[in-house]
Amino acid sequence: MKNNFKSPMLYAITDSRLLKNKSLGEAVREAVLGGADIVQLREKHVFGEELKNLAKEVLEVTNEYNVPLIINDDPELCLEVGAAGVHIGQKDMDIISARQMLGEDKIIGVSAKTVEQAIFAENNGADYLGVGAAFGTNSKTDASCIPHERYREIRNAVSLPIIAIGGINKNNISSLKELGINGVAVISAIFGDENIEEDSKELKKLCEMYFI
């Protein structure tokens, strides 16, 4: 059965290294209460059993609020803990293999920088695209910025939801309006501050103003 994925406006991506005196579960709860529509577990510094325990901790929160949990780059962990889906990059498992492995009921997001990558992802079963980097970012050192006109080009080529990612915050989000994107994915703009719920609320209001 095909999943009933709904395009998010505010896509929260975790990084527990940014947190100030709270657990990842607590932080995710605040982000969801503030308006995050979807959460991605992205803990590049955590592995094995510790990562699985973190996934379970976050999944307990997201299930409580009926918010999808996406696992970054790890279809096996997605299946093991029962998360809603995965997000894969161009250097990770390809979309065809991921869809075969996960089936139709799991959400699969794909990173794309070009129109060609976006079309390939759509034609082979992706549910949404993560496109960027929109701005410079410290969270991914190899994420070169794309021209903002690229968002319009990808929008004209595919019908999938487009989520902009990379260095987005409340001060620069307005420059992404009228590009045809559906929402934004943020890390430090949510989890890098003490007031996670308030930051999420502010970002969500801006998303509702600017995006389709």
pLDDT mean by block of 10 residues, the chain; 212 residues: 90 96 97 98 97 98 98 98 97 94 97 98 98 84 85 98 98 97 98 96 98 86
| Rounded Cα gap, residues 160 and 4, in angstroms | 13
pLDDT of residue 143: 66
pLDDT of residue 139: 65
| Encoded amino acid at 120, one letter | F
pLDDT of residue 168: 98
pLDDT of residue 137: 73
Which residues does the annotation mark as catalytic?
Answer: 42, 111, 140
| Rounded Cα gap, residues 210 and 196, in angstroms | 21
* Residues 136-140: contacts with CB under 8 Å, at least 24 apart: 136/166, 136/167, 137/166, 137/167, 137/187, 138/188, 139/15, 139/187, 139/188, 140/166
Joined tokens for residue 169: 């915050």
pLDDT of residue 2: 80
pLDDT of residue 38: 98
pLDDT of residue 4: 86
pLDDT of residue 141: 58
| Rounded Cα gap, residues 71 and 88, in angstroms | 9
Residue range 10-210 in CATH 3.20.20.70? yes
pLDDT of residue 105: 97
pLDDT of residue 16: 97
